[in-house]
Chain A
Amino acid sequence: MSEAMSETTNHRSVLDINDLTVAYKTFNRNVVALSNVSLDVPRATIIAAVGESGCGKSTLGLSIIGLLQRPPAMVTGGEIVFEGRDILKVREAELSRLRGTGISMIFQEPMSSLDPVYTVGQQLTEAIEVRENRKQNRDYGPFERTTAHHESHNLASRLLGTNNVRGALNTARRHYAAGAVEALRNVQISDPERVLDKYPHELSGGMAQRVMIAGALVERPSFLIADEPTSALDVTTQAQVLSLMRELRDVVGTSILFITHDLAVAAQIADQVIVMYAGEIVEQSSVKEIFQEHLHPYTEGLLNSFSSKYKDEGTMEAISGDVPNLKNLPSGCRFHPRCKYAMEKCRLEHPEIRETHQRHKVACHLIS
C-alpha cells in the first residue's frame, strides 16, 4: 500500500487491525486465541463482535487497549494501528496516556471494575483529571495522586473542624465536581449529587454500569471497547444502556467495539457485525446483511438459536456439538465438525476470509 493511500484510510478509520495473532502460553504449548484477525473500524461506527465463549472476542478487546496480561498472552503477529500509530509498538507510558483519552473500555461486571474504596465522585473526578492533564506526562499513577488529595482534605478538615473546606480549599476540585455531576446526568442518573457521594456497593447493577459508562464518556475517547456491557443487566436496564451507547456514537462520534454473545443485542445496536468462531472472524458485514443475507453456516445456526418460537410452534434447530477447545482445534475449517453442510474439502482445507460482494466478508468453502 502506498503512503498516500494509507493516509486516506487513516482519515476514514479510527482503528485498523491487520492480521493480529495472539497466543497464550500454557505449560506445554501455545494456545492461539486469535488467528489473523483483520478489522477496519470507521469513525462513529458501532461494530458488534459476536461469538460464543472462547471465540477470542474478549482477547481482541484486551489486545486493542493493551491490557493483555503478558505473559501468558503474547502477540505473535500483526499490527493495531490507532490514529496512525501501531499500538503494539508504543511504550507503556505512552500507551497509558492513550488509555482513557484515546481508547477506553467498559467491562461486563461494573462492580468489579469500579474501585470499592472510593466514592463515585472521586472516581469520576479522577477520570476528568486524566482528561485535563492529558498533555502532561506524569510518572506517578492516578492512584497516588488521588490518595494525596484525600489526605490533605482530612488534615485540613481536622484542623478547621468542618467538612466543607474541601470545596473551599480546592477550586479545581469544585470544577471537577461540576463535571462529574454533568457526566452522571448525561447517563440519565436522576439525582447525580446524591450518587456522587456513594460507594460502588451502594449502587444497583444498572446504576453501576451507568457510572462506568459515565467514566468512559467523560474522557470522550475516540474508540470504546464495551465487553458484554449489558450481559449482567436486566432487559429494561439493558435497553437504557444500549440507547446511551448509540448516543455516544452520535454525539461524541466515538467508535465502539461492542462485544456480545447475544445476536439480538447486536441487531439492536450495531452498524456492522463480525461473527467470530474459535479465534477467527468467519463473517463480517453490515448489520442488515448479517440478519437477512448471512452466508456462513455458523451465523445461520446462531441466528436459528435466537429465533424465539412458542412452545407449540415446534422445535428450534440447534447447532450440534460443542464449542471447540482451542488447545485441540479441528483440521481444515474449524466449524466443520458442527456444520451440517460440511464437505470433504472442509475437513482438509482451511477457508480464508474473502470479500464476496460489497463489504461482506465470509470464510467458507460453500461460498465461492
Chain B
Amino acid sequence: MQEQILEVRNLVKYFPVRGGTIPSILRKEKLWVKAVDDVSFMVGFNETLGLVGESGSGKTTIGRTILILEPPTRGEILFKGEDIVKFGDENLRLKRREMQIVFQDPMSSLDPRQRLRDILLEPLKAFHDYSKNLDQTKLMTETLASVGLPEDSLLRFPHQFSGGQRQRIAIARALILNPKFLVLDEPTSALDSSIQTQILNLLRRLQQDRKLSFLFISHNVNVVKYMADRIAVMYCGKIIETGRSRDIIEKPLHPYTMALISSVPQPDPEKNISVEQLKGEVPSAVKVPSGCRFHPRCPFAQDICKQVQPELIEIEPEHWSACHFSLSFKH
C-alpha cells in the first residue's frame, strides 16, 4: 500500500452538543453534530485531491482531523502506511513535520506580534536537529524566495504585508520543514481574484518542484477544477461522489453534484446557470435525514431514498457515486 501518501478509512468525527431542548435533556438524549460520518478516501503521491462542498458539509473538519488537530471519533488515517490515529504524542509530533496545513485567513493564523523571521523560526525550533545542522537564515530566505517574497521581509510584521503576501507567508511557514503533504483549507477564499490566481499558480509550481501532495479544500468549484487531479464532493458529512476532475465536472453521476456544478456561475453572459435550483437548505448535521441525506432536496427522490442509505459504489472506472439511481444517470 505504498502508492498512497494518505489513506483515510471510515473516518468519523462527531461533536457533542451541549444543552439542547428541554424535552431532549429530560429524555437524557445525547445529541451529536455528525460533522464527518464514515468517510474514506485516498491521496496519491504528488497528487491533489480536491474536496468540494457547501458550508457545513464537513470539509474543514476532515482537513483538521487527518492532521489529528481534532482527534477522530472512529476510523483509521494511514499516512505512508502507518495509522497515525494510534500514534502517541511524540511520534505524532515527528510525523507532523511531514504534514502541514494552510488556513483560509492568514491574518488570524499568523501571530501579529511576531516578525516574519520568528514566524518561520518557530517550526524549525520545534525540531532541534534543524537548528543545529542548518544555516537557518539561508533556509528562510530560500523558502521566502520560493514563495515569491523579497529577502528583506524577514524583519517585518504580518500587518505590513498585503493579503496575498500574508498567504505566501503562511505557505512559507508550512513549507520550511520540507513536508510531503499539505492540507490547504480554502487558501484563496479571502483573496482578491487577481491575487487568487497568483497564489494558485504558486501552489501548483511548488507542488511540481517539491513533489508535494495536496488535500485542497474549497467551496469554489472553479478553483478546485484548476487545482485538483481528483475531486471528492461532500454533502452533510459524507462523500457522495468522487472521481477524476473531468468526470466529476463534465459527467456528474449524483444529483447533488449535478445541481452544484450547474449552479456555478460562468464568466460568460450567454451561459446561464441552471434554473432548476435546489429547494430548501443544507440539513442540520444534528438531525440528519434518514436514508440518503440528500433526499429531501433531491428532484429524483423515490421511496427507497428515504429508507436506505446508498453506498459509494464504482459506477464507471475510477468514478464513485453514492446514489441509488447513479446507473441511470450514466452518460
A residues in contact (CB < 8 Å) with B: 52-53, 190, 204-207, 234-240, 242-243, 261-265, 267-268, 270, 287-288, 291, 301-311, 315-320, 322-323, 338
Contacts and interface: CB of A to CB of B under 8 A. Distances in A.
A288 B228 contact: no
B94 interface: no
B219 A234 contact: yes
Contacts of A287: 269
B259 A265 contact: no
Contact of B274 (A239, A307, A318): A239
A213 to B, nearest CB: 15
A297 to B, nearest CB: 12
B229 A311 contact: yes
B285 interface: no
Contact of B193 (A242, A288, A306, A317): A306
A309 B226 contact: yes
B267 A306 contact: yes
B169 to A, nearest CB: 14
Contact of A303 (B225, B267, B270): B267
Interface residues of B, number: 49
Contacts of A268: 265-266, 269, 272-273
Interface stretch (B69-77, B83-91, B95-103, B197-205): B197-205
**Residue among A52, A236, A306, A315 with max Cβ neighbours from chain B (10 Å):** A236
A318 B194 contact: yes
A262 B162 CA distance: 20
B263 A53 contact: no
B262 to A, nearest CB: 8
B192 interface: yes
A235 B282 contact: no
A310 B193 contact: no
A318 B205 CA distance: 13
**Residue among B229, B266, B275 with max Cβ neighbours from chain A (10 Å):** B266
Contacts of B221: 235
B267 A236 contact: no
B257 to A, nearest CB: 11
The 3 closest A-B pairs by CB, nearest first: A308-B222, A318-B197, A52-B192
A219 to B, nearest CB: 25
A204 B282 contact: yes
B265 A316 contact: no
Nearest to A231: B189
B265 A265 contact: yes
A306 B201 contact: no
Contacts of A306: 193, 222, 267
Nearest to B52: A235
A323 B274 CA distance: 33
Interface in B42-62: 48, 54-55
